Structure 1
Amino acid sequence: MTTRTFRITVRGVFEGLSAAQRDALLAEAAEHDVLRAAFTAEGHLSYDLAARPAFTFRFLDEGEAEEDILEAADRARAAAVGWLTGRGYGFTRLRVSTEDLSQAPLGKRRRQAAARGAATP
């Protein structure tokens, strides 16, 4: 079997933040800027409290079967909830979306490279 790579996104909204919690998040905002967002195994958090109280965690996981994406989504959700509750941050509207990169459509350059590779005897 081949290894599949999964991208998992966990989105939500901060709720009921105290002034101290908000200040702590604002102090770390540069580390969590959306322009630095990346899918990582440990998960990357991004937010912009000045614009809105929403946040996004991005996780990268792997599996061998198509069904493994469900377990990867559960792990990502649990990791996000653990991070938030471990710091005492309230949240709401948590939702998880997944993408199996082996099923993602190829971009133009990858399609062209695949076509060249298939045309080579």
Structure 2
Amino acid sequence: MSTRTFRVIVRGVFDGLDPEQRAELLARAGEHDVLRAAFTAEGNLTYDLAARAAFTFRFLDTGEAEEDILEATERAESAAKAWLTERGYGHKNLRSTADDLSRAPLGKRQRREAARRSA
């Protein structure tokens, strides 16, 4: 059985931030800029609090079977909630999407490489 790679995105909105929390997030905004976005096992947070209160966590996880994507999604949501709760950041409207990269369509370069290998 092969290992599958899952990309999980957890989105939400900061809620009820006090002025100190907001200032802290704004001060660290450069570390959480969308241009630094990456899928990581520990999760990568991005936001632009100056524009809106929304945030996105990106997680990378693995599993053996297609059904493991559900557990990966639950782990990602739990990790996002834990990160926010540990820091006392209120949040709402959490929602998640997940992709199984083994089922993703091949790009042009990948198709060309696969055709070359099979020839």
Q: Same fold (TM over 0.5)?
A: yes
Counting only pairs closer than 5 Å after superposition, residues 36-51 of structure 1 correspond to structure 2 as 36-51=36-51
CA distance in 1, matches of 2:51, 2:33: 12
Q: In structure 2, how many angstroms separate the alpha carbons of the residues matched to 1:19 and 1:4?
A: 42
Partners of 2:57 and 2:42 in 1: how far apart? 10
Partner residue in 1 for 2:52: 52
Q: What displacement does 1:101 show?
A: 0.3
Structure 1 regions of 5+ residues with no counterpart? none
Work out the CA distance in 2 between the residues paired with 1:115 and 1:48. Answer: 42
Superposed displacement of residue 86, structure 1: 1.0
Moved over 2 A (4+): none
One-letter code aligned to 1:49:
L
Question: In structure 2, what is the equivalent of residue 18 of structure 1?
Answer: 18
| 1:1-121 map, 5 Å | 1-119=1-119
Instruction: Give aligned-pair identity as a percent.
Output: 71
TM-score by length of structure 1 reads: 0.97
Query: Per the alignment, in what secondary structure is the counterpart of residue 49 of structure 1?
Result: coil
The Cα shift of 1:116 comes to 1.0
Deviation at 1:117, TM superposition (A): 1.0
What do residues 75-104 of structure 1 show as CA deviations (whole Å, max 9, x unaligned)?
Answer: 000000001111111111100100000000
Structure 2 gap ranges (5+)? none
